């Protein structure tokens, strides 16, 4: 089990368990000026009893809607990359026009990094909300098997498919349902 904790300017986020745990590792990382510490600990847990007795649902992942349930629930695709594509392209051009090694290039790279990080976090948050909602409200979840690598070779749809994050959605849904 991995717990993420960092002490930022706004105070503590998450928690760092101290009693009855064994610290396995700690990783300090930096991403566009944001520092975080990931601490991996080993915690003894009781065997969880399945509490969820909700309905069975089939989930269809798509491009126009992020996911459509067989019970009629629709999760909209917010298209985070597509909405900011013009800004991302413009910022990439700004970086490429700056002289290598200059202060202005470093500043432009930081701006591009902040924008890319924001988009990545928004995509991850949308997927977490979807998978958490499905895992907590449904007893059995059936999801379609997709060849994502094969779909990404289609040059007209590759960007939209990558923006949705099919593989990340399947992985998170599998992990959260097991949890």
The rounded distance, in Å, linking the Cα atoms of 92 and 98 is 10
Tens digit of each residue's pLDDT (9 = 90 or more) over 134-165: 988 888 889 988 888 888 888 888 888 888 88
Mean residue pLDDT across the chain: 85
Could you give the CA distance from residue 97 to residue 104 in angstroms, rounded to a whole number? Answer: 10
Cα–Cα distance list, 160 to 7, 33, 55, 153, 154 (Å): 36, 29, 31, 12, 10
Instruction: Identify the CA nearest to 109 among candidates 96, 121, 118.
Output: 96
Within 10 angstroms of residue 24's Cβ, the number of other Cβ atoms is 11
Q: Closest by alpha carbon to 165, among 178, 179, 152?
A: 152
* DSSP 8-state class, residue 94: H
Q: What is the pLDDT of residues 21-49, one digit of tens each?
A: 888 999 999 888 888 888 888 877 777 66
Identity of the highest mean pLDDT range in 2-16, 73-87, 95-109, 139-153: 95-109
CA–CA dist 78, 64 (Å, integer): 9
Which tokens sit at 98? Answer: 């700056």
**Helical spans, DSSP H, in 1-155:** 80-83, 85-97, 103-137, 148-151
- The residue extents of the domains of the chain are 2-43, 56-178
pTM to 2 decimals? 0.76
pLDDT tens string 91-143: 999 999 999 999 999 999 999 999 999 999 999 999 999 999 998 888 888 99
Nearest in space to 135 (alpha carbons), one of 73, 174, 171, 177: 177
């Amino acid at each position: 089990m991995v717990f993420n904790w960092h002490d930022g300017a706004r105070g503590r986020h998450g928690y760092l368990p101290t009693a009855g745990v064994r610290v396995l590792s700690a990783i300090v990382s930096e991403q566009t000026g944001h520092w975080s510490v990931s601490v991996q600990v080993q915690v003894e847990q009781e065997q969880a009893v399945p509490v969820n007795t909700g309905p069975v649902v089939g989930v269809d992942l798509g491009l126009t809607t992020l996911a459509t349930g067989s019970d009629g629930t629709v999760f909209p695709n917010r298209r985070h990359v597509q909405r900011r594509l013009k800004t991302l392209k413009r910022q990439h051009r700004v970086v490429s026009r700056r002289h290598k090694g200059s202060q202005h290039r470093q500043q432009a790279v930081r701006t591009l990094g902040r924008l890319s990080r924001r988009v990545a976090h928004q995509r991850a948050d949308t997927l977490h909300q979807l998978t958490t909602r499905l895992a907590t409200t449904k007893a059995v979840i059936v999801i379609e098997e997709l060849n994502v690598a094969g779909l990404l070779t289609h040059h007209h749809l590759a960007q939209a498919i990558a923006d949705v994050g099919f593989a990340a959605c399947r992985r998170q849904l599998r992990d959260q349902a097991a949890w």
